[in-house]
């Protein structure tokens, strides 16, 4: 924990941290990128998870997944990159903030869940509607919950 706090102090004092605080445009611009990433990750994930849980059966699941997954990946990459820059502006206090720690843990959980889902079930999407595995459905429900919580914790950081 001590080395994490020392690293956060170093990051906050680094040129990136200083730029993020001193530039009038950088923080708001990165915040907007964070929101774009949020829309690109949350929108597709919520739709894909809803489809996995049985909504919109008129739309072929492999096709839905093929369109939505790359968008979600772009959103995640934007969120991680812009989130790191926002974090750098105020890294010392944020590193010990329980809400941010919980948010990061849930991001790891959400990504691990998505990777495990792809590993286990990506070859079984074409007959999902007739033979959906219970564990796969639970993973879709967990994904919905995890991403909604991550989004909520991100917004609540400003208040607590």
Q: How far apart are CA 109 and CA 146, in angstroms?
A: 8
Judged by DSSP in three states, 106 sits in helix
Encoded one letter per residue, x for contact with ligand HEM by CB under 6 A and - for no contact, window 29-58 reads --x--xx--x--x-----------------
Closest approach of ligand HEM to the CB of residue 21, in Å:
12
Residue 157 contacts ligand HEM per CB under 6 A: yes
Listing DSSP states for 112-160 in one string gives: HHHHHHHHHHGGGGGGHHHH--HHHHHHHHHHHHHHHHHHHHHHHTTT-
| Nearest CB to ligand HEM, comparing residues 12 and 61 | 12
Q: Pick from 3, 12, 2: which is nearest to 92 by CA?
A: 12
Window 120-139: residues binding ligand HEM (CB under 6 A) = none
Judged by DSSP in three states, 59 sits in coil
Residue 148 contacts ligand HEM per CB under 6 A: no
* Residue from the set 30, 79, 95, 114 that interacts with ligand HEM by CB under 6 A: 79
Q: Which residues bind ligand HEM (CB under 6 A)?
A: 31, 34-35, 38, 41, 76, 79-80, 83-84, 86-87, 94, 107, 150-151, 154-155, 157-158
């Amino acid at each position: 924990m001590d080395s994490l706090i020392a690293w956060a102090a170093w990051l906050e004092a680094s040129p990136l941290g200083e730029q993020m605080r001193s530039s009038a445009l950088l923080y708001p611009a990165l915040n907007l990128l964070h929101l774009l990433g949020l829309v690109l990750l949350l929108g597709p994930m919520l739709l894909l998870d809803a489809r996995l849980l049985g909504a919109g059966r008129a739309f072929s699941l492999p096709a839905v997944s093929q369109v939505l997954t790359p968008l979600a990946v772009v959103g995640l990459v934007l969120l991680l990159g812009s989130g790191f820059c926002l974090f750098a502006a105020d890294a010392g206090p944020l590193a010990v903030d329980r809400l941010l720690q919980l948010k990061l843990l849930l991001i790891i959980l959400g990504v691990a869940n998505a990777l495990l889902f792809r590993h286990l079930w990506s070859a079984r999407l074409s007959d999902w509607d007739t033979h959906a595995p219970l564990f796969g459905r639970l993973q879709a429900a967990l994904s919905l919950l995890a991403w909604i919580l991550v989004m909520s914790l991100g917004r609540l950081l400003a208040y607590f």
